[in-house]
Amino acid sequence: MRSIIQGTGMYVPDQVVDNHALARIMDTNDEWIQVRTGIKERRLAAHDQASSDMAVPAAQEALDRAGLAVSDIDYLILATMTPDMYFPGSAPFVQRKLGLPAVPCLDIRQQCAGFIYGIQIADALVRSGQYRNVLLVGAEVHAGFMPYKSWDVLFGESDHAIDKEEWEKNTSARDRCILFGDGAGAVVVSGVEDDDRGIRDILLYTDGSKAELLCTRAGGSNYRPYFDPSMSEDGTVIPMVEGREVYRIAVNLMPQVVREILDRNNLTLDDLDMVIMHQANLRINEAVQKRLGLPDEKVFNNIHRYGNTTAATIPIAYHEAMQQGRVKAGDLVCFVGLGSGLNWGAILYQM
């Protein structure tokens, strides 16, 4: 029994926020952002859109492309670091909004590596014979982290002046705020008796000694109470990223895990047709590509359009790569990513 990805789907909000829009509310500009990240624009959710709202249309498209009905899904996995509320997890809300029956619904918290970890779970569930069709969704709304008050100026609905305090607060968090976008990607994983396609191998790692390199310090049982108004004022509700150290680690570990998964399957880089990396920063992906010696035609990036959508980046990129004809039947694809935890890993998938 092999697990195959039967269908893919994606959803991003309507609101496009380019780098010039960010320059209306903080000290930044298009060149500064592109040089450091490769990002030109991102999508941000409306104030009434939660992560579960991102997940539903992406999931429905994946079902449609798989030729399956909602009633065919017997397990749901949602990867998100931005749940609708503190608890319960957001998977039950996706279940309700999508109209799924009373199937098991699981939230996982591996952040940028969420899709890769989710695939491992889906693969195990399907190959064990316990479940037939697993729906895996990565969905994020990062807008709630942002310190912005003048959303109307950011969205181009007003041109009023930003007061100095707000301008300085936004600017103090710009290194992170410029990175993130909102959206969702989804896949349906099903079992087939086929040796020629499907998931060939999965290799995952975690190193908790580096967990604080990417984290949101506010909230949780570390604090009494869990949340306090001061957390909003001092910026601890905004994700913290030790950018230089994360860059150094990512450009070492991501090529390493790609080579390792190929070696243990008696394959080489020449056997790969496409590498789809987590879209955290284009400069990281370019460095990984260079270290692996891969030509441009074997790497797919779309971070310039969407920014970092955390657990959604890989399924969104895979969906777009398929729609653009960049991957096709018979191709060997490697998914690879690294995120907070630290969690990282790679997947070999035969189209």
| Residues catalogued as catalytic | 112, 278, 308
Q: How far is CA 44 from CA 21, 74, 142, 299, in A?
A: 12, 31, 8, 26
How far, in Å, CA of 196 to CA of 248, rounded? 37
Secondary structure (DSSP) of 41-89: EEE---TT--HHHHHHHHHHHHHHHHT--GGG--EEEEE-SS-SSSSS-
Phi, psi of 79 (to 5 degrees): -100, 120
Beta strands at 183-192 and 214-215: parallel, antiparallel or unpaired: unpaired
Kind plus residue range of the DSSP H or E element containing 127: helix 114-127
CA torsion 189→79→143→58, rounded to 10°?
20
| Contact call for residues 142 and 306 (beta carbons, < 8 A) | no
- Helix, strand, coil abundance in the chain, percent, nearest 5: 40, 25, 35
